[in-house]
């Protein structure tokens, strides 16, 4: 008797539903807005940003004449390393510094010579102390003192690049 039941069940048609196309749940997600409609502004908070960004400008006293070119990035990098070494010793040389951008004459004289710098957030306080307090005497078209001017810091690049440029995003 059990053999008859097994063969009868095997011959019976089985309804198979496709799990991809068949769904019994209704989606709670709202559809994306169509093109041309306004999307509400959303604020995003980065609780622990891995890097901090800030503008860094070398400052020369007396200022460089126009006939003397701005120092190249390797020279500026050596100034940064010198500041870290002077203030924090051998541990200061381990601070990771990334120069992301250097503003040139083509991008406006307001930011000429300014660098966009990225430093790990855990090292920012050490870096700002060293860069803000460091001065040295260099020979660029005569003896000059060099130091750094530091702009505001931000956890995102947009917080530094867009600062003071109200019309850029709207």
C-beta neighbour count of 51 within 10 angstroms: 19
What's this model's pTM, rounded to 2 decimal places?
0.67
* Terminal CA-CA length for the chain: 80
Tens digits of per-residue pLDDT, 76-122? 999 999 999 999 999 999 999 999 988 876 555 567 778 999 999 99
Q: What is the pLDDT of residue 85?
A: 96
In whole angstroms, what is the distance from residue 103 CA to residue 42 CA?
Answer: 31
In whole angstroms, what is the distance from residue 137 CA to residue 145 CA?
Answer: 4
Element (H, E) at 59: strand 51-61
32: which strand partners?
A: none
In this prediction, residues 36-51 reach a mean pLDDT of 76
Q: What is the DSSP letter of 141?
A: S
Per-residue pLDDT band at 168 (split at 50, 70, 90): very low
Q: Which two tokens stand for residue 116?
A: 């966009």
In whole angstroms, what is the distance from residue 156 CA to residue 154 CA?
Answer: 5
Percent of the chain scored above 70 by pLDDT?
67
Tens digits of per-residue pLDDT, 120-135? 999 999 999 999 999 9
Percent of the chain scored above 90 by pLDDT?
44
CA distances from 27 to 30, 32, 33, 35, 144 (A): 8, 13, 16, 22, 68
Instruction: List domains and CATH numbers for the chain.
Output: 51-163 (3.30.70.3250)
């Amino acid at each position: 008797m059990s053999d008859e039941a097994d063969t009868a069940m095997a011959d019976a048609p089985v309804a198979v539903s496709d799990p991809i196309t068949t769904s019994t749940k209704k989606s709670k997600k709202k559809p994306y807005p169509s093109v041309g409609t306004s999307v509400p502004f959303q604020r995003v908070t980065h609780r622990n940003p891995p890097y901090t960004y800030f503008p860094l400008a070398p400052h020369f006293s007396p200022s460089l004449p126009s006939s003397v070119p701005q120092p190249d990035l390797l020279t500026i990098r050596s100034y940064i390393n010198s500041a870290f070494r002077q203030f924090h010793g051998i541990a200061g040389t381990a601070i990771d510094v990334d120069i992301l951008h250097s503003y040139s004459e083509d991008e406006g004289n307001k930011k000429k010579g300014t660098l966009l710098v990225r430093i790990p957030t855990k090292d920012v306080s050490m870096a700002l102390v060293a860069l803000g307090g460091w001065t040295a005497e260099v020979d660029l078209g005569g003896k000059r003192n060099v130091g750094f001017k530091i702009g505001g810091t931000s956890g995102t690049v947009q917080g530094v690049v867009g600062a003071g440029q109200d019309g850029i995003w709207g």
